[in-house]
């Protein structure tokens, strides 16, 4: 390999000896590009602006001159993004876009005074010729080529950086290792060139500093520039370097507040029924290096997943289960160089002895308005509801008769019909077989863009042996044999998942019974984007209470407390965004707070997602 390289170098000097006889009297240099190192890094590396860079390289140097000093000349040129596809000017292709670009560049440098119209004419050709003379081209051709010297000079944004290397003169051709120091330019990408023809002088040029660094005066630069003009065809490229500001990411910290107070040791969050939600808010100290910042959060164990990345700097929780909790918050930001950085996670731990429930806030305008064209009155092809009310039971010892089931069904029947539902009712003495058959028939008769509501009102109970299992009592259900004729919540869950797979658009199961919340985990309710949730399939279960809670009968209202507020919410009171559209999430907010407030938190409705990201919506318009 070394022999081949040496043969190339010998050929290089042979050509110089025969074609450029004046050069032979002086000498020459050939740098091995693969040996070049910048502060120990290979060519192509990235450096900071105004950084001292020590360039080391190996060169083949030949000296044959009477002058005392020999200098190697290096030039750093900024790489321009300006380019043309084909030649412009006399005899060129003259593509309109290329011509317009050249006309603009020449006009900026005050060489072209014609109209910028993309047409090549004598005015443009003369302007090109005039510019070529100024930059030192002896044989002008009035044409600019895509990779030519004229375009390179025309597109230069900054003056080239020139630095010298004092050579170790020798009359023999041999490899010599050199080191020279220079300062990096400002942000951008640059090419480093050197001239094959050294500059010879009887006197020292500039002021020699450490590491062969030479400070140059204006007169020195003029002399060097003249030399480069004479030998502009003998310039060779070493390679590219990139100069980028690389700021050390500032130590950004997220600061957290709970209900607008700095968190401290102790219980700042109390359980119970309140007027306002728990508000977690956060911020960072402003920094000039931060362009965009996003956050995400998760409250363990209430949230089943992290929130999406968002710019919002607060989260409101209207319901928090009792027990130990941990809020985790993390961030990321984009700096001024489009690089993303992580912000260390912060957390806050707290414990509440009873559930926290808050009154929902009216948030008019909190989500984008949806026009009738985007979300027509008939969002669904068909809306069907199955209302099941079991009021009499064979196992009278375990299950008392429910007096208000008919009243519950009547009021819910009316509000659902007003919302466009066709309603089928089963009430009184209802067996498991009849319930399963009716649900199966409802799902089978529904199609892709349909929605269905299944409402179940009955007694609920835990399995006497397996406490994690919950059942809804049917007329022929026996508490001591729950697996035979009782409807398990797991079986109901499987039926609903089958319906979504069919697929149906949206399913909402509403269970008004004791222990109906067993296994249901509420989510952090927000005001979701209507168009997103209305177009995606999804199924939810809305329950009258939490796992260990009993459903309350309100003798003053003469109906179930839960169903009373469910009907009120569907009638319009759950429209917290005041856009005449109610989502299942909004319905939960209303029912959850009103029921908890009326029962002094003895009963707190819950909402669980069964499957899918869609959510049923009720259009009141």
Ranges of H-type helices in 121-181: 122-134, 149-154
More reliable by pLDDT, 570 or 493: 570
**DSSP 3-state assignment of 93?**
coil
| Residue whose tokens read 């700042």 | 268
Give the model's pLDDT for residue 601.
83
| pLDDT value for 168 | 60
Nearest CA-CA partner of 277 in 323, 308, 315? 315
On the question of pLDDT at 182 being above 70, the answer is yes
CB hemisphere CA count around 617 (13 angstroms): 28
Q: Whole-angstrom Cα distance, residue 117 to residue 97? A: 9
Q: How confident is the model at residue 65 (pLDDT cuts 50, 70, 90)?
A: low
pLDDT of residue 96: 92
Mean pLDDT over the full length of the chain: 81
Give residue 375's pLDDT: 52
Q: What is the mean pLDDT of residues 601-613?
A: 82
Residue 301, preceding peptide bond in cis (omega within 30° of 0) = yes
The fraction of the chain above a pLDDT of 90, given in percent, is: 20
Q: Spell out the alpha helix ranges (H) of 502-552.
A: 530-535
Q: Provide the phi-psi class of 187: left if phi over 0, else alpha when psi is between -120 and 50, else beta.
A: beta
Q: Are 585 and 525 in contact (CB under 8 A)?
A: yes
Q: How confident is the model at residue 30 (pLDDT cuts 50, 70, 90)?
A: confident
- The whole-number pLDDT of residue 517 equals 47
Which element (helix H / strand E) includes 413?
helix 405-418
The structure's pTM equals 0.55
Distance CA 479, CA 460 (A): 10
And the tokens for 590? 């209303």
Cα angle for residues 68, 69, 75 (degrees, 5° grid): 160
Overall average pLDDT of the 496-503 stretch: 78
Supply the pLDDT for residue 530: 53
Q: Which residue has the higher pLDDT, 162 or 432?
A: 432
Higher pLDDT, 607 or 563: 563
The two three-digit tokens of residue 41, written as one number: 């890094």
Q: Do 322 and 547 meet the contact criterion of CB atoms below 8 Å apart?
A: no
What mean pLDDT do residues 49-73 have? 79
Tell me which of 120-129, 188-197, 422-431, 537-546 is least confident: 537-546
Over residues 234-243, mean pLDDT: 88
Q: How many CA atoms lie within 13 Å of 397's alpha carbon, on the beta-carbon side? A: 3
Q: What is the pLDDT of residue 47?
A: 86
In which element (H, E) is residue 440 found?
helix 432-444
**Nearest one of 10, 44, 13 to 196, comparing CA atoms:** 13
Q: Inform me whether the pLDDT recorded for 367 exceeds 50.
A: no
Banded pLDDT at 11 (limits 50, 70, 90): low
The winner for highest mean pLDDT among 59-63, 269-273, 371-375 is: 269-273
Query: In this predicted structure, what is the pLDDT of residue 532?
Result: 58
Q: Residue 38 corresponds to which tokens in the numbers above?
A: 């910048």
Quote the CA–CA distance of 19 and 239 in Å, as a whole number. 27
Say which residues have a Cβ less than 8 Å from residue 258's Cβ, sequence separation at least 6. 268, 269, 278, 279, 280, 348
The sign of the torsion formed by the CA atoms of 198, 203, 206, 211 equals: positive
pLDDT of residue 549: 61
pLDDT at residue 452 in the model: 93
pLDDT digits (tens, 9 = 90+) for 377-435: 467 889 999 999 998 899 988 888 888 899 999 999 999 999 999 999 999 899 999 99
Token digits for 173?
């051709």
Provide the pLDDT confidence category of residue 18 given band limits of 50, 70 and 90. very low
* Cα–Cα distance for residue pair 100/118, rounded to 1 Å: 4
The tens digit of pLDDT for each residue in 513-562 reads 865 544 444 444 454 555 555 667 788 888 887 766 666 777 888 888 99
pLDDT, position 187: 82
Owner of token pair 């969050």: 269
List helix spans (H) across 486-568: 489-501, 530-535, 561-568
More confident residue, 420 or 12: 420
Count CB atoms within 10 A of the CB of residue 99.
Answer: 24
Question: Beta partners for 461?
Answer: 471
Output Rg (C-alpha) for the chain, integer angstroms.
Answer: 41
Q: What percent of the chain has pLDDT over 70?
A: 82
Name the pLDDT band for 266 (thresholds 50, 70, 90): very low
pLDDT digits (tens, 9 = 90+) for 318-341: 888 888 888 999 998 887 667 788
**What pLDDT is recorded for position 264?**
66
Question: Residue 559's Cα: distance from chain center in Å?
Answer: 49
């Amino acid at each position: 390999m070394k022999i081949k390289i040496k043969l190339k170098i010998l050929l290089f000097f042979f050509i110089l000896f025969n074609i450029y006889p004046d050069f032979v009297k002086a000498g020459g240099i050939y740098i091995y590009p693969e040996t070049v190192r910048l502060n120990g890094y290979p060519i192509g590396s990235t450096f900071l602006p105004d950084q001292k860079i020590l360039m080391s390289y190996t060169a083949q140097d030949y000296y044959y001159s009477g002058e005392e000093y020999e200098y190697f000349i290096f030039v750093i040129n900024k790489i321009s993004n300006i380019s043309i596809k084909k030649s412009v000017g006399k005899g060129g292709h003259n593509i309109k876009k290329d011509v317009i670009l050249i006309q603009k560049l020449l006009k900026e440098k005050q060489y072209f005074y014609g109209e910028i119209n993309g047409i090549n004419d004598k005015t443009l050709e003369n302007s090109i010729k005039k510019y070529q003379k100024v930059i030192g081209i002896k044989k002008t051709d009035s044409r600019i080529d895509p990779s030519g010297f004229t375009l390179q000079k025309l597109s230069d944004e900054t003056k080239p950086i020139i630095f010298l290397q004092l050579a170790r003169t020798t009359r023999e051709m041999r490899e010599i290792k050199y080191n020279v120091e220079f300062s990096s330019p400002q942000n951008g990408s640059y090419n480093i060139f050197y001239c094959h023809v050294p500059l010879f002088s009887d006197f020292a040029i500039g002021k020699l500093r450490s590491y062969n660094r030479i400070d140059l005066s204006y007169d020195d630069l003029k002399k060097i520039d003249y030399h480069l003009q004479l030998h502009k065809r003998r310039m060779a490229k070493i390679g590219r370097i990139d100069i980028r500001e690389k700021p050390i990411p500032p130590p950004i910290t997220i600061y957290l507040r709970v209900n607008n107070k700095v968190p401290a040791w102790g219980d700042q969050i109390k359980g119970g029924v309140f007027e306002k939600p728990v508000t977690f808010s956060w911020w960072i100290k402003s920094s000039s290096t931060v362009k965009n910042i996003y956050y995400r959060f998760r409250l363990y164990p209430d949230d089943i997943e992290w929130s999406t990345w968002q710019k919002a700097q607060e989260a409101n929780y209207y319901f928090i289960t009792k027990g130990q909790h941990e809020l985790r918050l993390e961030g990321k930001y984009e700096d001024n160089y489009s690089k993303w950085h992580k912000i260390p996670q912060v957390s806050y731990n707290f414990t509440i002895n009873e559930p926290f429930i808050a009154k929902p806030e009216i948030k008019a305008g909190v989500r984008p308005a949806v026009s009738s064209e985007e979300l027509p009155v008939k969002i669904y092809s068909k809306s069907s509801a199955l209302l099941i009310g079991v009021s009499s039971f064979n196992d009278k010892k375990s299950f008392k008769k429910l007096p208000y089931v008919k009243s519950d069904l009547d009021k819910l029947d009316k509000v659902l019909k007003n919302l466009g539902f066709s309603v089928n009712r089963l009430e009184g003495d209802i067996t498991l077989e009849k319930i399963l058959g009716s649900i199966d028939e409802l799902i089978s008769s529904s199609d892709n863009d349909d929605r269905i509501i299944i409402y179940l009102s009955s007694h609920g109970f835990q399995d006497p042996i397996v406490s994690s299992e919950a059942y809804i009592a049917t007329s022929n259900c026996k508490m001591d044999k729950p697996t035979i004729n009782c409807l398990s919540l797991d079986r109901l869950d499987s039926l609903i998942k089958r319906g979504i797979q069919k697929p149906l658009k949206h399913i909402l199961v509403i269970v008004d019974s004791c222990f109906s919340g067993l296994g249901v985990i509420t989510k952090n309710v927000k005001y979701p984007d209507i168009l997103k949730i209305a177009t995606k399939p999804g199924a939810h279960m809305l329950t009258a209470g939490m796992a260990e809670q009993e459903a309350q009968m309100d003798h003053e209202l003469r109906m179930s407390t839960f169903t009373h507020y469910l009907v009120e919410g569907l009638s319009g009171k759950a429209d917290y965004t005041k856009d005449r559209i109610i989502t299942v999430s909004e319905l939960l907010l209303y029912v959850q707070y009103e029921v908890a407030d009326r029962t002094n938190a003895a009963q707190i409705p819950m909402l669980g997602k069964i499957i899918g990201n869609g959510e049923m919506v009720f259009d009141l318009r």
